[in-house]
């Protein structure tokens, strides 16, 4: 959060003390808000006039109960949609703080999660260090899956505590009956949910409570009405009814909000900073809405590239407003010069996000993820420029999928090669997800697809590098096939989908790709990073978490190297860090190989630089600290050091670009303070007075959808 908003928040009384997310699971619009006279008399006739009604509420994520609730609680698209449920799958959680965690951290207390579906058993807490869940209780259990809606409601009333500031309550019978092709049970479930919500509001509601009632997903609109999970409008189109503290009365909006907008809206009402959200606060339904930011102050998801002439290029995403779907922006900086102004691209796209950029062989490539209105699903779009970004060839739609993709990753090389990698996020026990890749030249994009067969399942986080010796390579995390099947009763040898390992894909674009397993442990490996050192050695880094249970382990960093182009790998080496560490990024240049990673201790996050020497990583410098959320790291090597971009903030996402202007030799000098000497005299022509921690890092702190902006120093 900005310092200014922090003072305002401490002085002002938040609108709400407690928020309820009441989810009527699997309600199709035809029998719900479009058939209100019969099935929802309490919600439609009595409660709707007291609050705000939004139709449609879009689910642009996986239209499945498990994945949708992850997006609802995290306020952003999750990395693991559609994975099957297993007994004790304690680590199948989001990687960013949940609404319950941020409200508990800011206001005290915690949260309560309950429902008669097993998919609710891991929705209250995240895997994010610094957010341990505290008093958050996840009351949904495997035994609850056989309970009735009335049983679960009675349990909620008996267990609900005064300090449960966030309540996630899933009312599930309608969805269960729908899957079972029991029409009468489905309708009865909707009607009972209507009565339960009405009774709950009048029984426990106070003037300081806010209620959000909605459906996580719908159902098919044809004879296969029993199912859901694809891109049909019946599955994707939901609705929202909000009422209570801080909500305008008698309001109907048609701004088509998304389910990822609910968490930041609830966080705003409770005065809780939610730094990692990608949703927007629904100002149109609030009595006291936050101010919309200036477009330049709402940039996230930065990515960097540098060409052979030393020019640095940066792309980022401008977040949407109520009547604006956002855009992507780009700027550049010649060696020794200052940044150009931001220019906008992908303006015609719907929900453009996760931009990436690469340079090589005199060609620039950029790619991004976008919502395809005509098909109702996500796609990857790419384009190339042969004149340094002055003009661009027509965008090319590379692919589409029912669910959203992992973010595209581009990598360039002097030979003119670029690639974008992502995983098809939809997987099942008999249909493992495939890994899609694209190679690009100045004139064409060439598709490759890897079918893992029985080797691994659910690949995520692909990261790529162009090796001068081995061509294009990509490293990714996936579930080993031996751990993908549900464990049987009494089976202690199969931890289910807790285990994730790293895999290397070799030879894309050269014929028959091969997959090499890099790690093989019972622990969890995430956030892979890959680079090639100046000596031609491959270096892999990742975040490691020991222990099969949420409370057992902490994040640390691991390294491995390969001297034979990724065919075989060294033993794993642990990286010493003063705190929990994750999200590593690797970059190599003439001076050597560097790793930038996030360290977390309590509420403080630190961006740190490590030098990779002889297969080991040594901590060399602190680049920035924040009491918020550091995410989306990108780094490139330039002649005078590193350039690093990241997203920073406390109550929301903030774009933050930093240059480590000190020479690499100075950065590499070990110092007990973790700081580096002062930078040379403004080689970029963008001095703004005091640097950050002696590194000349310009600091930009802004607030998105909040009160006025505080700018400490602005870059370029």
Predicted TM-score of the model (pTM): 0.89
Q: What is the DSSP string of 378-389?
A: EEEEEEEESSTT
3-state secondary structure 219-277: CCCCCCCCCCCCCCHHHHEEEEEEEECCECCCEEECCCCEHHHHHHHHHHHHCCCCCCC
Angle at 36 between CA 35 and CA 41, to 5 degrees: 150
pLDDT at 690 over 60: no
pLDDT at 328 over 90: yes
Range with top average pLDDT, 232-241, 492-501, 634-643, 687-696: 232-241
Average pLDDT over residues 702-708: 27
Contacts of 143 (CB under 8 A, 6+ apart): none
Q: What pLDDT sits at residue 576?
A: 96
Per-residue confidence band for 679, with pLDDT thresholds at 50, 70 and 90: very low
Count CB neighbours of 478 within 10 A. 27
Evaluate if residue 480 carries a pLDDT over 50. Answer: yes
Mean per-residue pLDDT for 97-114? 92
Burial per residue of 283-310, b for 16 or more beta-carbon CB atoms within 10 angstroms, e otherwise: bbbbeebbebbebebbbbbbbbbbbeee
Residue (of 627, 662, 628) closest to 644 by Cα position:
662
pLDDT digits over 202-222, tens only? 999 999 999 999 999 999 999
Asked whether the predicted pLDDT for residue 429 surpasses 90, the reply is no
Q: Cα dihedral sign for 167, 173, 174, 176? A: positive
Task: For residue 693, name the pLDDT band (cuts at 50, 70, 90).
Answer: very low
- 323, burial (CB in 10 Å: exposed 0-12, middle 13-18, buried 19+): exposed
* Contact between 105 and 131 (Cβ < 8 Å): yes
The residue-averaged pLDDT of 350-366 equals 88
**Do the beta carbons of residue 596 and residue 606 sit within 8 Å?**
no
Please write the tens of the pLDDT for every residue from 44-66. 999 999 999 999 999 988 888 88
Residues near 220 by Cβ (< 8 Å), separated by ≥ 6? 226, 227, 228, 230, 232, 234, 235
Render 601-648 in DSSP notation, one character per residue: ETTEEEEEEEEEETTEEEEEEEEEEESS--EEEEEEEETTEEEEEEEE
CA 172 to chain centre: 26
Q: What's the pLDDT tens digit per position in 3-35? A: 333 333 433 689 999 999 999 999 999 998 888
Which one has a higher pLDDT value, 597 or 119?
597
Per-residue model confidence as pLDDT tens digits over 135-191: 889 888 777 888 999 999 999 999 999 899 999 999 999 999 999 999 999 999 999
| Cβ-contact 605, 625 below 8 angstroms | yes
Query: For all residues of the chain together, what is the average pLDDT?
Result: 81
Query: How much is the pLDDT for 156?
Result: 97
For strand 580-589 and strand 592-601, is the pairing parallel, antiparallel, or unpaired? antiparallel
* Percent helix, percent strand, percent coil in the chain, to nearest 5: 15, 35, 45
Nearest to 166 by CA among 106, 212, 110: 110
598-631 pLDDT tens trace = 999 988 999 999 999 999 999 988 988 888 889 9
Kindly state the DSSP code that residue 374 receives in the 8-state scheme.
Answer: T
What is the C-alpha to C-alpha distance for residues 63 and 65, in angstroms, rounded to an integer? 7
529 pLDDT above the threshold of 90: yes
Q: Burial letters for 73-103: b for 16+ Cβ neighbours within 10 Å, e otherwise?
A: bbbbbbbbbbbbbbeebbbbbbbbbbbbbbb
Distance, in Å, from the CA atom of 95 to the CA atom of 581, rounded to the nearest integer, reads 13
- Give the pLDDT score at 332: 94
Q: What is the pLDDT of residues 252-286, one digit of tens each?
A: 998 889 999 999 999 999 999 888 888 999 999 99
Q: Per the structure block, which two tokens stand in for 497? A: 């989908």
Q: Dig out the tokens for 695 from the structure.
A: 């590194």
Q: Are 55 and 213 in contact (CB under 8 A)?
A: no
C-alpha dist (Å) from residue 70 to 96, 121, 286, 534: 10, 11, 24, 41
pLDDT at residue 698 is higher than 50: no
Residue 653 in tokens: 């996402």
pLDDT in tens, 531-576: 999 889 999 999 998 876 777 678 999 999 999 989 999 999 999 9
Q: What is the DSSP string of 125-168?
A: --S-TT---TT-EE---TGGGGS-HHHHHHHHHHH--TTEEEEE
Confidence at residue 45, expressed as pLDDT on a 0 to 100 scale: 93
Q: Are strands 631-638 and 641-648 parallel, antiparallel or unpaired?
A: antiparallel
3-state secondary structure of 332: strand
**Is the confidence at residue 644, as pLDDT, over 80?**
yes
What percent of the chain is predicted at pLDDT more than 90? Answer: 42
Q: Residue 596 — pLDDT band, cuts 50, 70, 90?
A: very high
State the pLDDT at residue 206: 96
C-alpha 408/C-alpha 424 separation (Å) is 12
Q: How far apart are CA 134 and CA 163, in angstroms?
A: 11
Cα–Cα distance, 386 to 50 (Å, whole number): 57
The pLDDT of residue 193 is: 97
- What SS3 state is found at 66? helix
pLDDT number for residue 192: 97
Count CA atoms closer than 13 A to 112's CA, side-chain side: 20
**pLDDT tops 70 at residue 80:** no
Residue-level pLDDT at 688:
26
Dihedral sign for Cα atoms in the order 522, 528, 532, 535? negative
pLDDT at residue 607, rounded to an integer: 93
Provide the pairing of β-strand 555-562 with 456-467: unpaired
Give the model's pLDDT for residue 119: 81
Residue 495 has a pLDDT of: 65
Determine the Cα–Cα distance for residues 704 and 273; give it in Å rounded to an integer: 11
Counting every residue written for the chain, the total comes to 716
Give burial (CB, 10 Å; 0-12/13-18/19+) of 223: exposed
Q: Is the pLDDT of residue 302 over 80?
A: yes
């Amino acid at each position: 959060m900005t310092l200014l908003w922090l003072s305002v928040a401490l002085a002002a009384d938040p609108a709400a003390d407690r928020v309820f997310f009441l989810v009527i699971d699997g309600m199709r619009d035809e029998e719900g808000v479009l058939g209100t006279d019969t099935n929802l008399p309490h919600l439609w006739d009595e409660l709707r006039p007291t609050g705000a009604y939004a139709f449609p509420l879009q689910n642009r994520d996986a239209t499945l109960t498990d994945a949708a609730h992850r997006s609802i609680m995290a306020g952003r698209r999750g990395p693991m949609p559609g994975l099957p449920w297993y007994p004790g799958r304690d680590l199948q959680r989001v990687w960013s703080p949940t609404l319950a965690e941020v409200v508990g951290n800011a206001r005290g207390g915690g949260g309560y999660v309950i429902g008669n579906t097993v998919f609710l058993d891991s929705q209250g807490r995240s895997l994010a260090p610094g957010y341990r869940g505290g008093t958050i209780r996840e009351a949904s259990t495997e035994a609850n899956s056989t309970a009735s809606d009335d049983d679960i409601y009675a349990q909620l009333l008996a267990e609900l505590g005064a300090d449960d500031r966030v309540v996630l309550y899933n009312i599930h019978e309608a969805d269960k009956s729908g899957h079972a092709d029991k029409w009468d049970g489905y309708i009865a479930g909707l009607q009972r949910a209507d009565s339960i919500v009405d009774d709950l509001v009048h029984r426990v509601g106070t003037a300081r409570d806010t209620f959000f009632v909605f459906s996580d997903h719908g159902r098919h609109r044809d004879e296969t009405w029993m199912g859901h999970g694809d891109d049909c409008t019946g599955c994707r189109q939901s609705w929202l009814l909000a009422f209570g503290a801080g909500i305008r009365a008698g309001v109907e909006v048609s701004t088509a909000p998304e389910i990822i907008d609910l968490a930041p809206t609830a966080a705003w009402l409770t005065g809780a900073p939610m730094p990692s959200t990608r949703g927007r606060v629904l100002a149109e339904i609030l009595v006291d809405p936050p101010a919309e930011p200036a477009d330049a102050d709402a940039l996230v998801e930065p990515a960097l590239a540098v060409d052979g002439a030393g020019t640095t290029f940066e792309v980022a995403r401008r977040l949407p407003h109520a009547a604006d779907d956002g855009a992507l922006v780009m700027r550049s900086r010649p060696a020794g010069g200052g940044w150009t102004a931001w220019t906008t691209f992908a303006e015609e796209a719907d929900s453009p996000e996760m931009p990436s950029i690469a340079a090589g062989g005199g060609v620039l490539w950029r790619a991004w993820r976008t919502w395809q209105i005509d098909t109702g699903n996500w796609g990857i779009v790419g384009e190339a420029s042969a004149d340094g970004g002055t003009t661009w060839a027509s965008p090319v739609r590379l692919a589409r999928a029912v669910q959203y993709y992992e973010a595209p990753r581009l990598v360039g090389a002097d030979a003119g090669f670029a690639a974008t990698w992502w995983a098809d996020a939809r997987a099942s026990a008999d249909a493992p997800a495939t890994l899609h890749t694209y190679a690009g030249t100045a004139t064409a994009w060439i598709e490759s697809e890897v079918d893992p067969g029985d080797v691994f399942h659910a690949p995520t986080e692909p990261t790529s590098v162009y090796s001068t010796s081995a061509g294009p390579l990509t490293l990714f995390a996936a579930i080993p096939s031996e751990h993908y099947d549900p464990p049987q009763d009494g089976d202690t040898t199969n931890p289910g989908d807790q285990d994730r390992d790293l895999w290397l894909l070799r030879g894309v674009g050269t014929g028959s790709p091969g997959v090499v397993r890099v790690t093989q442990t019972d622990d969890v490996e995430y956030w892979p990073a890959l680079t090639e050192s100046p000596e031609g050695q491959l270096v892999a880094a990742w975040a490691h978490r020991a222990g099969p249970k949420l409370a057992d382990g902490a994040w640390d960093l691991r390294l491995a190297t390969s001297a034979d182009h990724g065919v075989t790998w060294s033993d794993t080496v642990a990286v010493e860090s003063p705190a929990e560490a994750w999200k590593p990024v690797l970059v190599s240049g003439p001076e050597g190989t560097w790793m930038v990673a996030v360290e977390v201790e309590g509420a403080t996050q630190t961006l740190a630089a490590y030098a990779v020497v002889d297969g080991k990583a040594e901590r060399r410098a602190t680049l920035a600290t924040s009491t918020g959320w550091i995410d989306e790291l990108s780094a490139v090597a330039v002649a005078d050091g590193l350039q690093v971009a990241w997203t920073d903030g406390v109550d929301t996402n903030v774009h933050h670009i930093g240059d480590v202007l000190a020479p690499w030799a100075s950065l590499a000098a070990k110092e007990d303070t973790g700081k580096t000497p002062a930078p040379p005299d403004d080689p970029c022509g963008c001095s703004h007075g005091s640097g950050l921690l002696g590194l000349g890092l310009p600091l930009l702190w802004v607030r998105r959808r909040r009160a006025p902006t505080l700018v400490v120093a602005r870059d370029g």
